[in-house]
Amino acid sequence: MATIIAEIVENHSYEDVLAGFEITRVFHVSGLVQAPNRQLIEATQEAGIPQLGDTYPGTTNIDVVRRTSVPDGPNAARVTCIYSARQNVSTYNQPFPPVNDGQDVKQISAGTRELVTVLDRASNPMIINPPAVFTGWDPYLSEAKFLVPAGEIVFERPETSVAASRARNLVGRLNSGAIGAYPENTLLFKNLDATSSDGGRIWDCTYTFAYDLGGWQHTDQYHAPDGKVPDGADTLFFDVLLTANFSSLGLDFSDSQTPIT
């Protein structure tokens, strides 16, 4: 039976790391009896050696996250145990949220998207009349492809619950009412990514919204058999996308940002 020598106190250490800290304890295990190629495993399995997930004495939420075993003399090994509270911090370097509301961090991007219109910027129809020599020919509306301002706002935050219901019920919808700096029907919930690196304890969530202050309605006009829009054709607007209330997400859609401290 292996004998565990008291931990090597002079190798005990505490180290601050980004968004957390690490504590190191080192143990010397002697009297190993298994074959040489199994002794390092045997040392880590001894009852007196802290196991993965064990809590640092006298604390809570500071657990063993890594163990290393190396030879340390005949039939002996040195086992190093690393304790860390980093599992209570997301990869966004935020504290473990007590509820489903870690502080969100914004990313903003702006660009354009293409639309088609038969109206000029004063909302007058762009009528093309036939030359005078072409008697009996009808005028038609000119269609213009143009670019309008559009962009994305991205939020990152840690959460404590899986985002499955939000992905099913909110992604692909427009904001049903004004929220923050964005009027009704101008925000499209484009994408939601949620990943966990600790087995589902903390979820790093990324919310992506596309915004278009002109709205997301489908527009069209009557087209003649030749494909042209005749003079006098009305521009019709259709609401196609479903809407939802995004306020339940608890995201900050204002133009401000509070730095994480």
Q: Per residue of the chain (261 residues), what is the pLDDT tens digit?
A: 567 777 888 889 998 866 568 899 999 999 999 999 999 999 999 988 999 889 999 887 788 989 999 999 899 999 999 998 755 556 666 766 665 567 788 888 888 888 888 888 888 889 988 888 888 888 888 888 888 888 999 999 888 888 898 999 999 999 999 999 999 999 999 999 999 877 787 888 999 999 998 889 888 888 888 888 888 788 888 999 999 999 989 899 998 887 766
Do 60 and 160 lie in one domain? The reply is no
The pLDDT value recorded for residue 44 is 93
Domain residue limits at 21: 3-88
Question: Are 58 and 149 in the same domain?
Answer: no
Tell whether 28 and 153 lie within a shared domain: no
pLDDT at 141: 86
What sections of the chain are H helices per DSSP? Answer: 39-44, 164-169
67 and 111 share one domain = no
Domain boundary among 31, 61, 88: 88
In a domain, 257, yes or no: no
pLDDT of amino acid 176:
96
Within-domain flag for 261: no
The pLDDT value recorded for residue 91 is 64
Helix, strand, coil: what percent of the chain each, to 5? 10, 40, 50
CA distance 70 to 151: 54
Report the predicted TM-score, pTM, of the whole model to 2 decimal places. 0.62
Domain boundary among 88, 119, 150: 88
Residues 33 and 142 in one domain: no
In the chain, beta strands by DSSP E: 3-5, 13-17, 20-30, 63-71, 76-84, 105-117, 127-128, 140-141, 144-159, 174-175, 187-195, 203-211, 218-220, 229-230, 236-238, 243-244
Q: Are residues 113 and 22 part of one domain?
A: no
pLDDT in the model for residue 93: 65
Shared domain check, 128 and 72: no
Residues 120 and 21 in one domain: no
Count of structural domains, the chain: 2
Classify residue 19: in a domain, yes or no: yes
- pLDDT score of 121: 85
Say whether both 133 and 241 belong to one domain.
Answer: yes
In a domain, 52, yes or no: yes
Domain boundary among 26, 54, 88: 88
Residues 142 and 233 in one domain: yes
Residue 93 lies in a domain: no
Instruction: Note whether 79 and 14 are same-domain residues.
Output: yes
Does 22 share its domain with 133? no
Is residue 94 in some structural domain? no
Tell me what pLDDT residue 234 has: 83
